[in-house]
């Protein structure tokens, strides 16, 4: 995965928007965000309502197509 770029979404609780997004480019972590916090900061932004909106932003920013979603069953 050294020359690979991808976004990893580690979804802690699928009922809510918590979890972390990690952006990796060439094996290096470029960005890490907590989804709830990011959405709260973007509450006035009409284009950002869900984690998938955030993923789309990072896909465009870094030219990434691969997204890995890790769902955690908290029940």
Cα–Cα distance measured from residue 71 to residue 46, given in angstroms and rounded to the nearest whole number: 26
28-53 burial, b for 16+ CB within 10 Å, e for fewer? eeeeebebbebbeeeeeeeebeebee
Cα–Cα distance measured from residue 51 to residue 38, given in angstroms and rounded to the nearest whole number: 9
Residue 42 has pLDDT above 60, yes or no: yes
Structure tokens at 16: 């809510």
Q: What is the pTM of this model?
A: 0.84
Average predicted confidence (pLDDT) for the chain: 88
User: Which SS3 state, helix, strand or coil, does residue 14 take?
Assistant: coil
CATH architecture classification, 5-71: 2-Layer Sandwich (3.30)
Residue 74 has pLDDT above 90, yes or no: no
Looking at the chain, the number of H-run helices and the number of E-run strands are 2, 4
| pLDDT for the residue numbered 13 | 67
Domain boundaries, the chain: 5-71
Average pLDDT over residues 37-58: 92
pLDDT tens across 50-68, in order?
999 999 999 999 999 999 9
| pLDDT for the residue numbered 75 | 58
């Amino acid at each position: 995965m050294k020359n690979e770029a991808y976004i990893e979404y580690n979804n802690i609780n699928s009922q809510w928007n918590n979890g972390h997004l990690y952006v990796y480019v060439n094996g290096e972590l470029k960005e890490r965000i907590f989804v709830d916090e990011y959405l709260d900061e973007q509450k006035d932004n009409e284009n950002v309502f869900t984690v998938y909106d955030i993923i789309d932003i990072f896909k465009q920013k870094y030219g990434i197509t691969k997204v890995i979603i890790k769902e955690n069953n908290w029940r």
